[in-house]
Structure 1
Amino acid sequence: MRTSIATVCLSGTLVDKLHAIADAGFDAVEIFEPDLIAAPQSPEEIRALCERLGLEIALYQPFRDAEGVAEPEFARVLHRAEAKFQLMDRLGVDTVLVCSNVATATIDDDAVSADQLARLAERADRYGKRIAFEALAWGRYIDDYRRAWRIVERAAHPALGVCLDSFHILSRGHDPAAIESIPGDRIFFVQLADAPILSMDVLSWSRHHRLFPGEGGFDLPAFVEHTLRAGYTGPLSLEVFNDVFRQTDPVRTARHGRRSLTVLQDAIGVGRVPAASEPSGLDQVELKAQDTDGVAALLARIGFAPCGRHASKTAWLYAAGEARFVLNEHNATGAEPHVAGFGLRCEQPLTAAERAERLGARRAHRRVLTGEADLPAMLAPDGTEILLSDPESGRRWPQEFSGGNGEADSGILGIDHVNLTEPVADIEEAVLFYGTALGLERESSAELAGPAGLVRSQVLRSRDGAVRLALNVVPPLSESQPAARRHAQHVAIACTDLPALLARARARGLRTVPVSANYYDDLAARFDLPEDELASLRAAGLLYDRDESGDYLHCYTETIGTVFFELVERRQGYDGFGAANTPVRLTAQHAAG
């Protein structure tokens, strides 16, 4: 199916938006009238630009308060419409969006609305134009697409049809199944937006909280399937009002939107995206910096063994159990230690990489010499590099490192999860990408209070829990704050018998984030722990949590650059992340600066 997006979704000038939309691979565009009015270019110049960019102008919008008005006012409506039809001729667009009336001086009479829309359509037909009538969720009287269709049907003019907007329909809880009763050729346009499920007035909800498909709580695949079964053949168009998107880079936002439509098309079986190849585990984590010595020393204190330097790159491998860290100084001038990427094990890495690319991921260009493992690599929207390995290549690439010595601590099992931070402007895009491109399932999100504000956490995981990825949105802090407090990331290392491992690590010089005495007093109140076990936790400085399956012990290391590590022990199938303890960690890190 053809794809489209409204210019209102993006920041920038109209010309900026059109270039971004074309670059993202859309077929068509909705021109939002205020964008055109503010543009210095003439309608003819905008039309010519769209033609050069290969963009069809599929819709001009919006035309407001056109029906259900007194006759003197309707004469003024026709006057306005004449000017717009002439403008549409100059733009080269044949369909205009007419919204249901929201004014207070409106007549609640289907016959009046039908008659006026029929006369408006007759005027439009003289110019070769069509009217797509849309029921706004906050329309004064017409706020249901089913009533809008009854009025259009009553008007009985071939130049009049309906526009179906998923937000206006699903936000009101209206059943979209009745869409299938509308003839496909009378559905003139379909607009798509997702949204979180909120309890607030629909106008504010619509204006500030719409999201791209796949990012909210609406069942958009079912909505689109209803329109297709009705016989709709026009473009699927995004119309997303969102405070964030109006401020962010239009090129990236347009690509984000295009990816969401690909995901949606894949969900309804009309795309050509390879099936997800679910990852079977985390293969490695890459930590990058100009100087990785501090991270290397921290890993050694935890119990990791150095496996040597890479044969052709300024990079070192540290390993213990199934956990592997690559410390990379290649092309890292000026960079503090940070999580630059991670590797995933899967049975079909090439297919997984192709799926990610079809969903808009950029291929990561890596220098690979003869004899080195050529792992498929891609870049997430935030720039994180993701490498994919099958069992054979996963065994082969560590052999490119040599010269290491030392023995790893036997209490380290592997990498439990990776925790990345995302700016508030990027979190929805990141969740959509990591979930759909990597075949991970989204778990419920959490909001946790810290000394610098609220931290939102979103977990994605494989079905068997072998891969866990946590994405955190941290509170906006001033650039004068230390980098570690602005956007610290961490990697959780799975251990067995954490108290014993921690004792050995401390003997090697490991320092962990301190835990307040108040925490243990509260722990005693929340859980019926034996007194000796509580005393052991207190003495070791360990945090504790419990769910219906088992227990969770964990602690956090000091921060190097923007990276720290969490040591975790899951007992009897505990499946969470100790979220209740996050404020304790945040407060201690805040105090440490």
Structure 2
Amino acid sequence: MRRSIATVSLSGSLADKLTAIGGAGFDGVEIFENDLVSSRMSPEDVRHRAAGLGLAVELYQPLRDFEAVPPALLERNLRRAEHKFAVMRRLGATRLLVCSTVSPDSVDDDELAAEQLRTLAERAAQHGIQIAYEALAWGRHVSDYLHSWRIVRMADHPNLGLCLDSFHILSRDADPYAIETIPGEKIFFLQLADAPTLPMDVLYWSRHYRCFPGQGDLDLPGFTAHVLRAGYDGPLSLEIFNDIFRQAAGMRTALDAMRSLAFLEETVGERLGGSAASLAPPPPPVVPTGFAFVELAVPSTAAPGEQLSSLGFVRTGVHAGKPVELWEQGGARILLNTGSPESEDGPALGAIGLESPDPAASVKRAEALLSPVLPRTRGPRDAPLDAVAAPDGTELFFCRTRHADHSSWTDDFTEGRRDPAGDAAEITRIDHVALTQPWHHFDEASLFYRSVLGLRPHESLELPDPYGLLRSRAVSTGDGAVRMALNVAYAGGPSRAPDAARQHIALASRDIVATVRRARAAGAAPLPIPDNYYDDLEARHDLGAERHRTLRELGLLYDRDEHGEFLHFYTATSGRVFFEVVQRIGGYRGYGAVNAPIRLAAQHAVPGGARPL
């Protein structure tokens, strides 16, 4: 199917928007009236620029407050419409969006609305233009798509049909199943927008929180499947109103938009099965099976590995051609890179290796979803290892570690020092990685990990900290082999700036008490937790006196859910990075979110408490 987007969805001038939309590979564009009115480009200029970028002008919008009005106002509205028809001829547009009225001058009279829309359609037909009537969720008299369809049927004109907008329908909890009863040829246009579930006025919700498919909580695949089953064969078009997109770079937003449509076509295709021939889904996802490694950029002047040693890691290899060390414990692998420019301000998380059943297929999937392979300097003997960039700049490598049928990245490392103490392997693997996102990339990141990697999104949380709020959303594989927590600090002043850049690596321990005692013996005490926390914990949970004493003594935090228990502690921050050690008991599925405010307050209270890695 053709893919389209409304110019209102991007930031910048109309010329910039068209360039970004064409550059992202869209087939068509909706021209939003305000973008044209404020542009120095003539309608002919817009038409020619769009054509040169391979874009069809699919729709001109909107004509507001038209129907069910007194005769004198109808004449003024028809005059407005004739002017728009003239502009549309110059643009090369053949569809006009008409929104259901919100005018206080209108009356609740379906027959009058139908009669006046028929008059409009008759005028439009003389210019070769179709009228797509849309029920606004906040329309004064018409706010439901079935109501708008009733009026279109009453008008009974071939140049009058419907525009179906996913937000206007799903935000009202209307059942979209009845869309399948509407003849496909009477659905003139389809607009798509997702949104997070928020308890607020629908107009404010629409203007500030719409997002691309896959970034919110609405059932866009189900909605779109109903429209296609009805026989609609026009473009899939995005219409987004969002404060973040209005401030983001247009090209980046357009690429994210295209990724969302490709992912939507895939999920709709799964719903439709064999009847989805018109869709063009990307190659199937290759879900990662675990973490191969996490790479940290560390200053060359630091003593690499000191904190890792205190946690029981040992250096097991040195890269043959790069200043990179491999540190291991159990199945957890940490790379320390002293040659990266990112290390100037202290350790920083720069790359994540993901175990892939088929690295080449993982790359094809990423490229199809507009995440190209990053250029990389590779020595003649280096293992072939491709990476793509996550929205925050973190490099994601697709690996097969120590498999007989695939070259392993570990072969690039010569054997280094081994310590018999490391054989205890209390730490068994990397449990999860928490990545702090730039505030304007959060929704993009959620879609990226969901679409490119096939991870499942979890509920979005808002966590208090002493200086504002932290928004967090976890994504994971179904079995929990790969878990990532995406965080963004979106409230607070300049004092939050140092914290907004923090990343952390959570390590799974089979005996967290032994791990914390080892760390303490090595001089690396966990992040100090106030006694008040443990007083409150005793009030909330009866864990037995001895267990409470152990938690308090060792600085361990506690959580539980219906599946099991969770013990964890945090190290001091070094540069931008800190470690978390966790032990999941039973089938605990969370991330200790209830304790995040305690951690944040403790980190604020210990400035400069960093230790070398």
Specify if TM > 0.5.
yes
Instruction: Name the counterpart of 1:311.
Output: 320
- The answer to whether structure 1 residue 507 and structure 2 residue 516 are counterparts is no
One-letter code aligned to 2:585: R
- Distance in 1 between residues matched to 2:309 and 2:117, nearest whole Å: 75
- Distance in 2 between residues matched to 1:312 and 1:476, nearest whole Å: 44
Instruction: Name the counterpart of 1:342.
Output: 352
CA-to-partner distance for each residue in 1:257-287, whole Å, 9 max, x for gaps? 1111111000112333222222211110011
One-letter code aligned to 1:536: T
Instruction: Name the counterpart of 2:62.
Output: 62
Instruction: Name the counterpart of 2:115.
Output: 115
- Distance in 2 between residues matched to 1:292 and 1:117, nearest whole Å: 74
- The answer to whether structure 1 residue 410 and structure 2 residue 419 are counterparts is no
Task: Trace 1:19-38 onto structure 2 (pairs within 5 A).
Answer: 19-38=19-38
Q: Which runs of 4+ in 1 moved over 3 A?
A: 289-292, 333-336, 391-395, 475-482
Instruction: Name the counterpart of 2:292.
Output: 283
Contact 2:469 2:491 in 1 (8 A): no
Instruction: Name the counterpart of 1:532.
Output: 546
Instruction: Name the counterpart of 2:457.
Output: 442
CA-to-partner distance for each residue in 1:90-134, whole Å, 9 max, x for gaps? 111111101111011112112211111111111111111111111
One-letter code aligned to 1:55: L
* TM-superposed deviation, 1:295: 5.3
* TM-superposed deviation, 1:377: 1.7
Distance change >3 Å, CA 124–CA 449, structure 1 → 2: same
- Distance in 2 between residues matched to 1:470 and 1:384, nearest whole Å: 14
Contact 1:411 1:501 in 2 (8 A): yes
- The answer to whether structure 1 residue 498 and structure 2 residue 512 are counterparts is yes
Distance change >3 Å, CA 335–CA 88, structure 1 → 2: farther
Contact 1:28 1:58 in 2 (8 A): yes
Q: For 1:460, which of 446, 459, 475 is the aligned residue?
A: 475
Distance change >3 Å, CA 443–CA 182, structure 1 → 2: same
- Distance in 1 between residues matched to 2:572 and 2:366, nearest whole Å: 35
Instruction: Name the counterpart of 1:40.
Output: 40
Contact 1:289 1:332 in 2 (8 A): no
Task: Trace 1:91-110 onto structure 2 (pairs within 5 A).
Answer: 91-110=91-110
- Distance in 1 between residues matched to 2:516 and 2:280, nearest whole Å: 50
- The answer to whether structure 1 residue 390 and structure 2 residue 400 are counterparts is yes
Contact 1:362 1:380 in 2 (8 A): no
Instruction: Name the counterpart of 2:275.
Output: none
Distance change >3 Å, CA 98–CA 482, structure 1 → 2: closer
Q: Percent identity?
A: 50
33-42 or 180-189, which deviates more? 180-189
- The answer to whether structure 1 residue 327 and structure 2 residue 336 are counterparts is yes
> Tell me, which stretches of 5 or more residues in structure 1 are unaligned?
none
Task: Trace 1:202-221 onto structure 2 (pairs within 5 A).
Answer: 202-221=202-221
Q: For 1:573, which of 587, 594, 604 is the aligned residue?
A: 587
* TM-superposed deviation, 1:442: 1.5
Instruction: Name the counterpart of 1:188.
Output: 188
* TM-superposed deviation, 1:472: 1.0
CA-to-partner distance for each residue in 1:60-81, whole Å, 9 max, x for gaps? 0001111111111111111111
* TM-superposed deviation, 1:478: 4.7
Q: How many positions carry a matched residue from both structures?
A: 592
Task: Trace 1:142-221 onto structure 2 (pairs within 5 A).
Answer: 142-221=142-221
Task: Trace 1:511-522 onto structure 2 (pairs within 5 A).
Answer: 511-522=525-536
545-554 or 309-318, which deviates more? 545-554
Please report the RMSD computed on the Cα atoms of aligned residues, expressed in angstroms. 1.7
Instruction: Name the counterpart of 1:428.
Output: 443
CA-to-partner distance for each residue in 1:239-265, whole Å, 9 max, x for gaps? 111111111111111111111111100
CA-to-partner distance for each residue in 1:341-370, whole Å, 9 max, x for gaps? 211112112112211221221212222223
- The answer to whether structure 1 residue 582 and structure 2 residue 596 are counterparts is yes
Distance change >3 Å, CA 68–CA 289, structure 1 → 2: farther
- Distance in 1 between residues matched to 2:289 and 2:476, nearest whole Å: 11
User: What TM-score do the two structures reach when normalised by structure 1?
Assistant: 0.96
Residue aligned with 2:17, SS: helix
- Distance in 1 between residues matched to 2:236 and 2:149, nearest whole Å: 19
- Distance in 1 between residues matched to 2:301 and 2:109, nearest whole Å: 73
- Distance in 2 between residues matched to 1:290 and 1:235, nearest whole Å: 51
* TM-superposed deviation, 1:579: 1.5
